[in-house]
Structures are given as structure tokens and as C-alpha cells.
Chain A
Amino acid sequence: MVIFRNIIKEIVFYSLVFLIVLPSISAMVGVRPASYEVNFEPNLKKVFTFNFMGDPGVNFEIYTEGPFSEYVELSTTKLVAGNSVNALVQFPLVAGKPGRHRLLVGGMQVAGDNKATLGIVGNVQGVIFVNVPYPGKYAELDFFTSNANTGEDVDLTLKIYSKGEQDINTHSKIEIYDSEKKNLLQTIDLGENLVKSTEFVELKTKLNTSQYLSGDYSAKAIVIYEAGAVQDEEIFRLGKLFIDISNYTHFVERGKINRFEIQAESYWNDPISGVYANVSILNYSRLDFLTPSMVAEPWQKTTLTGYFDTSEIKQSIIRAQITLHYNEETTQKIVEIEFTEPVDYTIYIIIGGIGAVIIVMIGIIVILIKRKSSKGGNHGKKR
């Protein structure tokens, strides 16, 4: 009977736990693909399929919104998660405003029976990007550069888009400046191109950096065409095999094993493996320690960690020599480390202990006095 009662109790308990946890059960909603890209063409008829995802049983109400939404015919306006909707777009003869437009195909999650005070649902929107050509000739560009190490080639990529109604003839060049963008160091001529309306041309070249020092540089792409010029700028970095000690633990505590961190910043464009630090505490050679080795990622900061015991040290400031080892190179730095004086709790413990003893003593004396007085009273009654 007792076992049966315990089982019932357990069932009730776990049911309650389940009910408490239930509101936190996650819910997913989404759409794939997230977007399509289409160039406007008069009377173009095209179907775009969107699959709306969600937890089993999630219902969506499908709608369209934004520019050109009046030219969209949906295959359904309601669907259950996991199903697709076809959006048939039939563009008009005239587009109207040129540029890149966001035509939305959305799925509004239908809220279930909400027992909670507040609930949240998803409204997921897939996008059809509609590129409407500009009147006449119109160019836009994307420009990408890569980082490299000194002496290696830097990749320069230029994409010229003709977003006008007419084809364009371009003349492109890339100018390389120093980091302050004051001194022009080199010009790379990329020649002439014909870019047809709504299409693009990709130009790739490499910058020989054998005459360049390490550091940051600015690359400016300039495209001249019949209606004017467009330009874009990118910064690229040339690396050198150097890891800097950019930070370290400045304060340690006395009389304990301390964690000591060294921040190593790589100026090299490739990962450097086997980076470690040797820390020598000056005048306390027995306390020297090594950190485990790490991989320094390109242009990133990496933290190296070691431990040392400060029990022997009496000074308030010590000096340490940090030596980073990597690829048969080293970086050294002499740093100062200060002691933070930890709060000495001993005195508080002693005072607290004495206080506690006094209270106990007073308590005992009070009890003894009470007993004595009560014994005295009893004698009186007997008499």
C-alpha cells in the first residue's frame, strides 16, 4: 500500500514538473530558400517556390507584401509546416521605380491556444529581390581584397554590374594607397569592358607585394563609364611573421599559485602553430614557467596561460621577462607585475572566535545563576 502511494506521488510530482517545463518547449519556424534574385523584365512570368518549416502541426497563413506583390499569385494561402507554396510572379510592362526591391512572401504562424499570459509566434518572410534597371546607363560595383603576407600576391576582385536599361562600356583601374590614403603607391589598369544591361563582369587581378612593407594599405577601385564614374575602397593587410605581447596579467595575489595570462597578437596571415611563452620571474629563477603551446590564428589575439607560485616572493612589485616562441622566432618583453594585497581574514576569525567564546561563557554563567537561585527557592518552600 505504501509502495503504491509512493508511485502515485512520483507520478503526480513528475507530471507537475512536466507541466512547469512545458511552456519552455522550443518552437521553430523558418523558410527556405531565404531569398531569390530576379531581374525585372516586362511580362516575365516565373514561379518561385518557398518551403515553410516548423514544428509538426504548426500552421501558416501565407501572404505577399511589398513592391510587385499585386502581380503575385499564390498556390495556397494556408499551409502546414513542411509544405511549399508556389508564388507565380507576372511582371507588368513597366516597372516603375528603379533599384533593388524586396518582394516578400511571408508565412504568419497561426497562434495555438495560449494558456500563458504571453506567448510568441513567428512571422517568416522569404524575399524575392527584384532588380529594376535604371533608365539609360547605370553602373554599380563590388570590390573585394584579400590579406596576404609580405611578398605574397594580394587578390583583387572587381565586379561591375550594369544596372541600367542600356549596356555600358567601362574603363577600370585600381589604385593602391598607404594606410593614411595620402600617397598613391601604384595603379593597376584593368582595361576596358562591355557590360550588358542587367549583367555583370568580374575582373580579377593580383597585386605583387614584393616591394611592399608589412602593414595596412588601401585599395581604391575606379570604374569610368559613359554616364560617369563609380568607385569603392577596401583595406588589405600585409602580414609579417611577428607575434606581439599585447597584454598580460598585471596583478597577482601573494602566497598562492596564480594564473598568469599572456595575450599574443599575430600579425601573420597564416595560422602559426606551436606558439608558447616562457616566463622568467627576474631574481626568482626557480619560479620560471612555460605555457602550453597554442595555435595563433591570422591577425587574431590568442591567450596563453601559465601558473606560478608567489609564496617565496616578498616584494610588492616583481619584474618578469615574457618570451614568446614561434616558428623559430621570439618576441620578448620585460613587464612589471604587482601584488594585490588579499584581505587578511585571520584577525576577523580571531575576534569572532573570542566573541563566540564570551557569549557561550555568559550563557553558562546565566544558566548556573538561574539554577542556583531556583535551588534556593525550593529550600525556602520546604521550610
Chain B
Amino acid sequence: MKIDNLVLFIASFAVFLSALGAGLTYYNVNQYRENWFTGFALQSGDINLTVETAAAINFTVDSINWGSGMVDSGQSSATLNTCCGGSVVNGNWTAVSQGFEVVNLGNVNLTLLLKTGKTAATFLGGTAVTPDYEFNVTNKEADACNGTDVFNLNTFYDVNTTGDGTKVCDLFTSAEGRDEIRIDIKLVIPSDSLTGARSDTMTATIAPAS
């Protein structure tokens, strides 16, 4: 019985609220009776915005470390290569399968040049064989880089220490899905190479393509 009373009370309250709402609506509408169109301003407006350009790259892999090792006894040299799964031939360094990886993060197409701080002679030294310090650029995503007239992708070239280095991409695109390249490194270390911790830094120079 008590529940019935409660339900009756709630129902009555709901009816009261509805009536109140209807009254308020009528009052508001009545106020605008002479102005049927409200909130309907006819004006023209300009929309202005500027999309800024940005030239930016991200090194998703920014270091290569073969650790410590030496040329196998009886061998004149060892070859270390990050390409194609990574390999160490005639040496006991740890194979590295990751080359540098560079993504064009910006919204403009870029030119890309690569330069190293050292040559094969200053980085590795030795005379048992001619030391080699080479790099190779490949598209991690198809058509990311088009090479140049004198630089082919998928080919190893000697490093360049002069100026801004070797131009490797006339056009390094910013298009989504084709904006990532990989740079592999190959070293030929003579058995009488320089010893101790050897290190070098490669510089990737980018600028907007005209």
C-alpha cells in the first residue's frame, strides 16, 4: 500500500514538472512571437588558416655497434656488413643486422646527403689489405628515395668526408607509406688495422627540395 502511494506521488510530480515545462516553453516562445526567426543571422565570414611547412627526419635506428672483436688468425681481413641479415666474415665481432633507418617526418619533400667524419684509412687503418668503409641506401618503403643521376640505390659506395657529403636522394618523399629509407654499412678491417675503440659519426643533411 505504501509503495502504491509512493508511485502515485512520483507520477503526480512528473505530471507537475511536465506542465511546468510546457508553461515555460509557451512563455519563451511567446516572447519571440513577433520575431519568428531567431538566431538566424545572415553574415558572410572568411576562414583563414596557414599550414606551416616542416622539414624533419627521425632516426628510428641511430647507432650500429659490432662490439669488440678481431680478425681471425691467418686471415688478412674481416668483413662486417649490416646488410641482408647482417654478417661478420673472418672475424669474431657480433653480427649486426640493423642499418641506420631514417623517416621523413615532415610535410615537404627533401634532398638528403650523407657524410662521415672519417675515411676508411682514418677509421680503420691497416695495410694488410686496403681498408673499406662503405654505405648503401635502400628504400625501406618503396619509392621513398629516388637516388640521383650519379648515386644508385642498393649499391655500396665509399663514404665521403668532404663538404656536405654524397647526395643520395634528389627527392626523399614525405608521402605516408613511402617515407622511410635504410642505410647499411660495410667495413673491411685489415688484420693490422688500428686497434682500440673505433667510432665515427655519419651526418645526414636534409633540406627542402625546391
Contacts and interface: CB of A to CB of B under 8 A. Distances in A.
Interface of A: 23-35, 53, 100, 102, 104, 106, 108, 111, 114-127, 129
| Prevailing SS type, chain A contact patch | strand
Interface in B117-176: 164
Given A114-B63, A123-B164, A32 B199 contact: no
Given A28-B105, A116-B199, A121-B201, A34 B59 contact: no
B198 A123 contact: no
Given A53-B54, A114-B199, A118-B200, 9 more contacts: A30-B106, A32-B55, A116-B63, A122-B59, A122-B204, A123-B204, A124-B205, A125-B207, A127-B207
A117 B54 contact: no
Given A118-B202, A121-B203, A121-B204, A28 B164 contact: no
Contacts of A32: 52-56, 106
B175 to A, nearest CB: 15
A160 B35 CA distance: 53
Interface string B170-202: 000000000000010100000000000011111
Contacts of A29: 56-57
B71 interface: no
Contacts of B65: 23, 115-118
Given A24-B61, A119-B63, A53 B199 contact: no
A118 B201 contact: yes
B18 interface: no
For the complex of A and B, 5 pairs with smallest distance between CB atoms: A30-B56, A116-B63, A125-B207, A116-B65, A34-B53
Contacts of B53: 32-35
A23 B82 CA distance: 15
B102 to A, nearest CB: 8
Contacts of B100: 118, 120
B58 interface: yes
Nearest to A100: B210
Contact of A127 (B52, B61, B208): B208
B9 interface: no
Given A23-B65, A116-B64, A30 B57 contact: yes
B117 to A, nearest CB: 9
B55 A117 contact: no
Contacts of A125: 55, 205-207
B33 to A, nearest CB: 48
Nearest to B208: A34
Contacts of B67: 117
B186 to A, nearest CB: 11
B60 interface: yes
B185 A118 contact: yes
Given A117-B66, A118-B199, A119-B202, A26 B210 contact: no
Contacts of B206: 122-125
Given A119-B201, A120-B201, A28 B207 contact: no
Given A34-B106, A127-B207, A53 B64 contact: no
B98 interface: yes
A26 B61 CA distance: 6
B108 interface: yes
B72 interface: no
25 contacts: A23-B61, A23-B63, A23-B65, A24-B60, A26-B59, A27-B58, A28-B105, A29-B56, A30-B57, A33-B53, A35-B53, A35-B55, A102-B210, A104-B207, A111-B201, A114-B199, A116-B63, A117-B65, A118-B199, A118-B200, A119-B64, A123-B206, A124-B55, A124-B206, A127-B208
A117 B198 contact: yes
A20 B60 CA distance: 15
A30 B106 CA distance: 8
A32 B66 CA distance: 36
Contacts of B207: 102, 104, 106, 124-127
A121 B98 CA distance: 17
Contacts of A30: 54-57, 105-106
